Amino acid sequence: MENFVQGVTKVNSAVNSFAWGPIMLILLVGTGVYLTIRTGCVQVRYFGYAMKNTIGTVFRKSDKDHGSNLSPFEAVSTALASTVGTGNIAGVTGAIFTGGPGAVFWMWVSAFFGMCTKYAEILLAVKYRQVEPDGTHHGGPMYSIERGLGKNFKWLAIVFAVLGGIASFGIGNIAQSSEVSGSIKTLFGVRPLITGIVLAVIVAVVILGGVKRIGQVTSYMVPFMSAFYILAGIAIILLRITSLPAAFASIISGAFNLKAVGGGVFGYAMMLAIRQGVARGVFSNEAGLGSAPIAHSASSTKEPCEQAVWGIFEVFVDTIVICTITSLAVVMSGVLNTEGGLDAFASKGAAAAQAFNMILPGHIGGLVIQVSLLFFSLSTIIGWSYYGERCWAYLTNENKIVSTVYKVIFVLFCIVGATGSGTLMWDISDTLNGLMAIPNLISLLLLSGVIITSTKEYFKKVR
């Protein structure tokens, strides 16, 4: 059995190096560059419109009944709930320690093009979603592929659904449950098993209530946790405002550092910064992976482009705002000068906590990080539960029994993740999560004409 596990681990490691390796990262960013050119840089030309018609609408009172579907804000909250996770704190910190401050610049670059990619995939998801007899909306890359490209590509839709269905147990559950139990243990000294059981109960109450309850819960949770972290970030910037110019200077200079590192070839430092920054940007905002469109397709919005602009807002908040806060804290705190580097800390999260502690008074930085990780992780679990459910529902032709069984198993995996007994499952799911991008990118490129036409028609009508 031990040899079998070692064999699986070795194979998964090899596939993972491709799924999150240079070739895939080039394809992900390259697709964003291509779509940006084809749409006339929609994320810049209509950025003001996107902000006005996304976050600007949240504060407008509406009595509209969205029926069994989600409101536009509930849809983006569900998507952001699954997107904003441990990667925004621990992942970004690890990327900077490994690739240097320059990794932040390339993270911004990937986010810039990722805004257009996410806009495009949401547009297709809403355009080709399935409407049930009761008016409920279902969608995502699997529906975009089958309905947009035709029955001959259904096999590709099935591949995406299988990858997403399995990945939901790892990246969307085990990894997050582990962070929740770690945060609770640090804050209150509670045993992981107890945390896992309580977490399972909380998740069960939410996801067994269906997509409407998921949307309602995340619409309250996401604004709170985002505002909490952003306010902490503003405090950090104000307390180290004199260090801000130097921090940006190190980020820009590090992004184009051509020196050799550790005996490596000339320019290796720059390549390392690019790889770490792009990988972290993609992993964080999930642009191109095809997961978020599943939530957006459940929106009551009828116009695809109207919902798609939420994708621009989503990537902006996740990477340009939240990830940048983590980045500036790490760069300005001086934690990068710690002897032994990242190995000197128990985890990447611990390194981020130390960075916050070095700036915020009273050593409350660690508390900010632990509370943020707790809510970021919990929200990701809830959001990904819906992604996994929809993937399995597509594969089984909306079988209600399969859907219920999936939810029960997903809830039980919260205990597995909290007790730290699902490491291999998490590693495999991380690989599958990266592979999800392949069928999604194929559909984006082959249906790019539809994206361009829909965009031109919509904004012409808006003007």
SS3 at position 130: strand
Is 21 part of a structural domain of the chain?
no
**Taking residues 267-290, what's their average pLDDT?**
81
User: Is 34 inside a domain boundary?
Assistant: no
Q: What is the per-residue pLDDT for 255?
A: 86
Distance CA 380, CA 409 (A): 17
38 lies in a domain?
A: no
Mean pLDDT of 329-336: 91
**Is the residue at 330 inside a domain?**
yes
pLDDT digit string, tens, across residues 300-316? 888 999 999 999 999 99
Does 421 have pLDDT greater than 80? Answer: no
Predicted pLDDT of residue 141: 96
What is the distance in angstroms between the CA of the first residue and the CA of the last residue of the chain? 64
Q: How far apart are CA 405 and CA 383, in angstroms?
A: 18
> Can you give the pLDDT at residue 68?
64
In a domain, 29, yes or no: no
Q: Is residue 6 part of a domain?
A: no
Q: Is residue 216 one of the residues assigned to a domain?
A: yes
Instruction: Please report where in the chains the tokens 């986010």 appear, as a residue.
Output: 111
CA dist., res. 378 & res. 373, Å (int): 8
Question: Given this model, what pLDDT does residue 423 score?
Answer: 67
Asked, for residue 50, whether it belongs to a domain, the answer is yes
At residue 112, the 3 state secondary structure works out as helix
CATH number at residue 417: 1.20.1740.10
Q: Long-range contact list for 402-409, CB < 8 A, 24+ apart?
A: 406/165, 407/204, 407/207, 407/208, 409/169
The model's confidence at residue 80, banded by pLDDT at 50, 70 and 90, is confident
Q: Helix H segments across 264-364?
A: 268-285, 292-296, 304-315, 324-333, 348-357
Distance CA 333, CA 335 (A): 5
Please tell me the predicted confidence (pLDDT) of residue 95: 87
Number of separate domains in the chain: 1
- Domain that residue 386 falls in: 44-54+71-456
**Which pLDDT band holds residue 24 (cuts at 50, 70, 90)?**
confident
pLDDT at 259 over 70: no
Span 347-367, average pLDDT: 86
Has residue 62 got a pLDDT over 60?
no
Say which range, 229-243, 274-288, 417-431, has the weakest mean pLDDT. 417-431
Task: Return the percentage of the chain with pLDDT > 90, whole number.
Answer: 47
Answer whether residue 407 shows pLDDT above 90: yes
Q: At what angle do helices 244-255 and 268-285 cross, to 10 degrees?
A: 110
Rounded to an integer, the average pLDDT of 428-455 is 91
Contact 294, 387 (CB under 8 A): yes
> Residue 308 — left, alpha, or beta (φ > 0 → left; ψ -120 to 50 → alpha)?
alpha
Q: pLDDT band at residue 65, thresholds of 50, 70 and 90? A: low
- pLDDT band for position 261 (cuts 50, 70, 90): very low
Of the given ranges (102-106, 246-250, 346-350, 387-391), which has the lowest mean pLDDT?
346-350
Q: Percent of the chain having pLDDT more than 70?
A: 94
Q: Which residue's entry shows tokens 């499952």?
A: 425
Residue 431: its pLDDT value, please? Answer: 83
pLDDT score at 413: 93
3-state SS assignment for residue 223: helix
The pLDDT tens digits of the residues spanning 137-188 come to: 889 999 999 999 999 999 999 999 999 999 899 888 988 888 788 878 877 8
pLDDT at 63 over 60: no
Q: Give phi and psi for 228, each to the nearest 5.
A: -60, -50
Q: pLDDT at position 264, please?
A: 47
